[in-house]
Amino acid sequence: MNAKLRTAVDSFSFVDGVLQEKSTNLGAFEPSALLPDRRGRGNLYVHVETIGGFADHALVQQEIMKVAQEYFQTSGSITAGIRTAIKLANAQVFDANLNAPREQRGVAGLTMVVLKDRDAYVGQLGPALLYHIGQGEFRRVPAESTWLSSESLEQVDTDRQPPLGLRREVEPELAHLYVRDGDALILASTVLAKLATDDEIRNAVTYRGTSSIRQSLQEVAKGDDISALVVEVLAVGGAEAAESVAPPATVPAERPGLWGKISSGIRESLQTRRTEGEAPATAEVAEDVEEEEGWEEEEGEETARQGVDWREALRSIWGAVAGVGRGLAALLGRVLPEAEPGQRAKRQQARRTASPAAHEDRRWLWVAVLIPVLVLAIFALSRYQHDRARQQYLQQLRTTAQDAKTAAQMTTSPGEQRVKLAQAVAALTEFLGEVPDNAEVETERVELQNWLDRINKVSRVFYFKELKEFPDTETATSRLGTVLVQGIDVYVLDAGMNRVYKYLLNDTKDGLQVREEDPVLLRKGDTHGEVTTEDILDIAWVESTPALGTSALFILDKQAHVLEYEPAAGLKSFPTADNSAWRNPVAMTGYLGRLYLLDSGTNRILRYVLTNIGYDGSPTDYLPAETGANLAGAIDLAIDGNVYVLHADGKISKYSEGAAVAFPQKNLDEPLKEPSCIVVTGSMDESGSVYVADTGNGRIVQFSKAGEFVRQLRSRDAGYMAALRGLFVDEAAKKLYLIDGNKLYLATLPD
Helix, strand or coil for residue 713?
Answer: strand
Question: In 110-224, where does DSSP find H-type helix?
Answer: 146-149, 191-195, 198-205, 210-221
Please give the pLDDT value at position 549: 66
Weakest mean pLDDT among 233-237, 410-414, 479-483, 594-598: 233-237
Share of the chain above pLDDT 70, in %: 79
User: In the chain, what is the greatest distance between 2 CA atoms, to the nearest angstrom?
Assistant: 127
Q: Each residue of 149-161: pLDDT tens digit?
A: 888 888 888 888 9
Query: Per-residue pLDDT averaged across 311-330, rounded?
Result: 50
Please give the pLDDT value at position 356: 57
Weakest mean pLDDT among 120-134, 379-393, 417-431, 445-459: 379-393
Binned at pLDDT 50, 70 and 90, residue 357 comes out as low
Please give the pLDDT value at position 273: 43
Q: Is the pLDDT of residue 334 over 50?
A: no
Please give the pLDDT value at position 388: 86
Weakest mean pLDDT among 229-233, 234-238, 313-317, 418-422: 313-317
Give one DSSP letter per residue of 457-498, joined into a string. Answer: TEEEE--EEEEEE----SS----EEEEEEETTEEEEEETTTT
Q: Each residue of 503-532: pLDDT tens digit?
A: 999 999 999 999 889 999 999 999 988 889
**In angstroms, what is the C-alpha Rg of the chain?**
36
| pLDDT mean across residues, the chain | 82
Q: What angle do CA 709, 715, 718 make, to 5 degrees?
A: 140
Q: Each residue of 601-643: pLDDT tens digit?
A: 889 999 888 776 666 677 889 998 888 889 989 999 999 999 9
Q: Is the pLDDT of residue 313 over 50?
A: no
Domains 5-256 and 461-468+528-748 share a fold: no
Please give the pLDDT value at position 568: 84
Binned at pLDDT 50, 70 and 90, residue 199 comes out as confident
Whole-number Å distance between alpha carbons of 684 and 396? 54
Please give the pLDDT value at position 332: 44
Whole-number Å distance between alpha carbons of 193 and 131? 10
Binned at pLDDT 50, 70 and 90, residue 710 comes out as very high
Q: Each residue of 292-306: pLDDT tens digit?
A: 333 333 334 433 433
Domain boundaries, the chain: 5-256, 379-456, 461-468+528-748
Please give the pLDDT value at position 361: 61
Whole-number Å distance between alpha carbons of 388 and 76? 10
Q: Is the pLDDT of residue 37 over 80?
A: no
Q: From 2.40.110.10, 2.130.10.10, 3.40.50.1100, 1.10.10.10, which CATH number describes the 461-468+528-748 domain?
A: 2.130.10.10
If one compares 340 and 743, the residue with the highest pLDDT of the two is 743
Domain 5-256: assigned CATH number? 3.60.40.10
Quick count: other Cβ atoms within 10 Å of Cβ 704? 13
Binned at pLDDT 50, 70 and 90, residue 220 comes out as confident
Query: Per-residue pLDDT averaged across 313-324, rounded?
Result: 50
Whole-number Å distance between alpha carbons of 604 and 598? 6
Q: Which residues of 539-568 are buried (b: 16+ CB within 10 A; e: fewer)?
A: bbbbeeeeebeebbbbbbbbebbbbbbeee
Please give the pLDDT value at position 250: 37
Binned at pLDDT 50, 70 and 90, residue 65 comes out as very high
Q: Each residue of 376-387: pLDDT tens digit?
A: 888 888 888 888
Q: Is the pLDDT of residue 546 over 70?
A: no
Residue of 171, 152, 173, 186 lying closest to 45 (CA atoms): 186
Please give the pLDDT value at position 614: 62
Distances, alpha carbon 558 to alpha carbons 470, 538, 583, 599, 642, in Å? 23, 9, 9, 11, 26
Query: Per-residue pLDDT averaged across 424-440, rounded?
Result: 92
Whether omega before 142 lies within 30 degrees of 0, making that bond cis, reads yes
Query: Per-residue pLDDT averaged across 206-227, rounded?
Result: 77
Please give the pLDDT value at position 612: 64
Please give the pLDDT value at position 311: 47
Please give the pLDDT value at position 135: 75
Q: Each residue of 46-57: pLDDT tens digit?
A: 999 999 999 999
Whole-number Å distance between alpha carbons of 550 and 538? 20
Query: Per-residue pLDDT averaged across 340-356, rounded?
Result: 53
- β-strand partners of 703: 690, 709
Q: What amino acid is encoded at 144 in this protein?
A: E
Share of the chain above pLDDT 90, in %: 46
